[in-house]
Structure 1
Amino acid sequence: MEEPIIQARDLGICFAKGKQKKGRVKDLFVRRSANKKGAASDDFWPLRHVNFDIFPGDSVGVIGSNGTGKSTLLRLITGVLIPDEGYVRREGRVAPLIALSAGFSGDLTGRENVNLVGALHGMTNKEIKSKFDEIVDFSELEDFIDTPVKHYSSGMKVRLGFGVITQLPHPILLVDEALAVGDKAFKKKCHGVIDGLLKEGRTLVFVSHSAGELKRYCKRGIFLDAGQVITDGTVDEALDSYNESSEATAKRKAEKKKAEKAAEEARKAAEAPAAPPLPVEATT
C-alpha cells in the first residue's frame, strides 16, 4: 500500500490572542507544559483534532472562510510553525508558494537574491546557474536583475519569488493565494507553470478563494471550519459544504441582527416618557 507523502494526526496549534506565534524549540516546551495545565482563557485554537493523509501526486484544495486555519495549516506542513498537539509529517522537501518575497534582502540585487533564496531552499550553485536564465525570463526582470531589490515594486518581487520557487525540484508544492496577485498576463504564465509541475507528478496543496482555480487544479478538497476538517472528499463536495456553511452563517447573522434591532426598539420604547394625560373638559 502506498505511503502518504503528508500525514496529519490529531494536529492542533494554539495561539495567544494579541501575541505573535513563535516557532522556537524553547517555545514548544513552554507551550506544551502550559497546555498540560489547561489553556488560558485568552488562547484560541485555529486548528485542532485535524487528521488527513495526502498521497504522492494528489492535488488537494484547502477551502474555508477567512480565519479558519488554511494558511496556518500550510505553515505547519512546511515546518515554519510547530504544533501544540499531534503531528504533521511529510516525506520530501517542500516548494512553498507562500509569501513569495519572503527571504529577499532589500540591499542585495535581484541576481544576488536568486542565489540566496535558491540556496536557502537547498539548490546547489550548479542548479541555480542552470536555472538562472529561466528565472529571469519568467520574472521579466532582465533590465532590473542587477538592481537592489529594495527598489522593486511588490509585483516585481512576487514575480522573482515565483520564478525561483517553481524551479525547485521538491516533490511537494504548497500554494497560498499566490495567484491572487499580478496582472492577467502574469497569472496566465503562473497557471502554465503549475500545470507543468502537476504533469510531472508533483503533490499539490492549494489554498484559494477562487472556485474556478480550485476546480482547475484539484481533484480533492478539504473544507475547514472552526479549526476542524468538516469535509474531505472531491473538490465539488468540499465546495458544496463550504457554500452551505456560508449560507447558514449568513442566515444566523441576519437573524441575530434582526433580533438585536427588535430588542433595541423595545428598550427605547420602554424608556420613552409616558404621554401626558388628555385634558378633561368641564361639564355644566
Structure 2
Amino acid sequence: MVEAIAVTDVGIRFRRNRGGRRSFKDLFGRSERRVRPGEFWPLRDVSFSVQAGEAIGVVGRNGQGKSTLLKLVAGVVLPDEGRVQVNGGVAPLIEITGGFVNDLTVRDNVYLTAGLHGMSKAEIDRRFSDIIDFAEIGDFIHTPYKHLSSGMKVRIAFAVISQLEEPIILVDEVLAVGDKSFKEKCYRRIDELLAGGRTLFFVSHNEKDLRRFCTRGLYLDRGKLVLDAPITEVLDRYNADYNSR
C-alpha cells in the first residue's frame, strides 16, 4: 500500500521564555539531545506511518502533543528533529474559521478561502452552490462575515474545507461545535469522504466519534507515542491510564 503520511523520529521544540534570545547556534546549529533551560519539547522521538485510505484517531490528555502533531502533518509548523513526509495534499479541518476576513462578505470569503487552499475560480464557481447549500446560509451570502453567528461561521468554514478534493483529511475537534443537526450533516459528509478512499487523521476527545470513524489509534502521553494499535485497544489503554491517575 501507498504511505499517505510518514513520521520518522520527529521532535519539535518550544521555548517557555518568549522574551529570551536564541543564539546563532540555537537557530542554525545541530540539534543536541540535551534539553536546554527554558526549552519544552511537546513531541519527541515520534514515529509512525499512515497508509492511504486509513482512518487514524489520535488520543491523549490535554497538552500531550496531539494538536502539535496535527500541525506538523499539515505543514503549519516544522520539526526540529526527524522528518514528516506527506504524500498528497491535505484538507485541514483545524481552526477552520481562521483565515476568514471579517469585513468581506460570505461570498468573497468562500472564494478567498477556497482559492488559498488551491481551488481554481472555475472549481469554486462549480461548487459554490453546494457549499452554500451545505452551510444553509443562502440568505446571507452578501452579508459581511463579521455579522454571522459563531455557528454560521463554523458551518460555512466546514462547507468550504470539506469540498476540497485533497486525499488527506486532518480533523482537530471540529465536530465538537455546532448544533445536533449540523453535527449529523458533518458526520455524513466525513462518511462520504472515507467511502471515497480519503485518508483521515483525526484528533478528538470524543470516544464515540473515534470509534465511529477510525480503525486505528495513536496514543500520545508526555509527548511520546506510547501505543499504536487498533482504535478499541488504544481507547481501552487510554481510559485505563486516565482512571488510574
Structure with the larger helix share:
1
1:8 aligns with 2:4: no
User: What amino acid is the match of 1:112?
Assistant: D
Q: Within the alignment, does 1:201 sit opposite 2:197 as a pair?
A: yes
The two structures have a TM-score, normalised by structure 1, of 0.82
Secondary structure of the corresponding residue to residue 138 of structure 2:
coil
Residue aligning to 1:244: 240
> What is the CA-CA distance between 1:242 and the residue it aligns to?
0.6
| Correspondence list, 1:223-242, <5 A | 223-242=219-238
2:154 is aligned with 1:155: no
The whole-number CA distance in structure 1 between the counterparts of 2:24 and 2:11 is: 13
Output the CA distance in 1 between the equivalents of 2:182 and 2:197.
Answer: 23
User: What residue in structure 2 maps to residue 277 of structure 1?
Assistant: none
Of residues 228-237 and 39-48 in structure 1, the stretch that sits farther from structure 2 once superposed is 39-48
CA displacement at 1:145 relative to structure 2? 1.0
The CA deviation string for residues 52-86 of structure 1, in whole angstroms up to 9 with x for no partner, is 01000000000100001111111000110010100
- Give the SS at the match of 2:171: strand
More strand by share: 2
Instruction: Tell whether the 8 Å contact from 1:31 to 1:84 is kept in structure 2 after alignment.
Output: no
Partner residue, 1:267: none
> What is the aligned length?
243
Contact 1:10/1:87 (8 A) holds in 2: yes
State the shift of 1:41 in Å: 1.5
CA distance in 1, matches of 2:141, 2:182: 18
**Matching residue of 1:47:** 43
8 Å CA contact 2:218, 2:227 repeated in 1: yes
Alpha-carbon offset, residue 39 of structure 1 = 3.4
- TM-score of the pair, normalised by structure 2: 0.94
Q: Distance in 1 between matches of 2:121 and 2:182?
A: 27
* C-alpha contact (below 8 Å) 1:32/1:84 kept by paired residues: no
Measured after TM superposition, the shift of residue 7 of structure 1 is 0.1
Aligned equivalents of 1:46 and 1:238: distance in 2? 20
Query: 2:124 is aligned with what amino acid?
Result: I
Out of 190, 196, 204, the position equivalent to 2:186 is: 190
Q: What amino acid is aligned across from residue 161 of structure 1 in structure 2?
A: A
Change (3 A) 1:29 1:35: same
| Ranges in structure 2 where 5+ consecutive residues have no aligned partner | none
Do the aligned partners of residues 126 and 29 (structure 1) sit closer, same or farther apart at CA in structure 2, a change above 3 Å counting?
farther
Determine which of 93, 118, 125 is the counterpart of 2:121.
125
For structure 1, the 5+ residue unaligned runs are 21-26, 250-284
Shift in Å, 1:28? 11
Give secondary structure in 2 for the equivalent of 1:173.
strand
Whole-angstrom CA distance in 2 between matches of 1:6 and 1:195: 20
Task: Check whether the contact 1:28–1:82 (CA below 8 A) recurs between aligned residues.
Answer: no
Tell me which amino acid in the other structure corresponds to 2:184. Answer: K
Q: For 2:217 and 2:129, how far apart are their aligned partners in 1?
A: 36
Structure of greater relative contact order (alpha carbons < 8 Å, 6+ residues apart)? 2
1:240-264 superposed Cα distances (whole Å, 9 cap, x missing partner): 1111211222xxxxxxxxxxxxxxx
Partners in 2 of 1:121 and 1:19 — Cα distance? 31
What amino acid is aligned across from residue 203 of structure 2 in structure 1? V
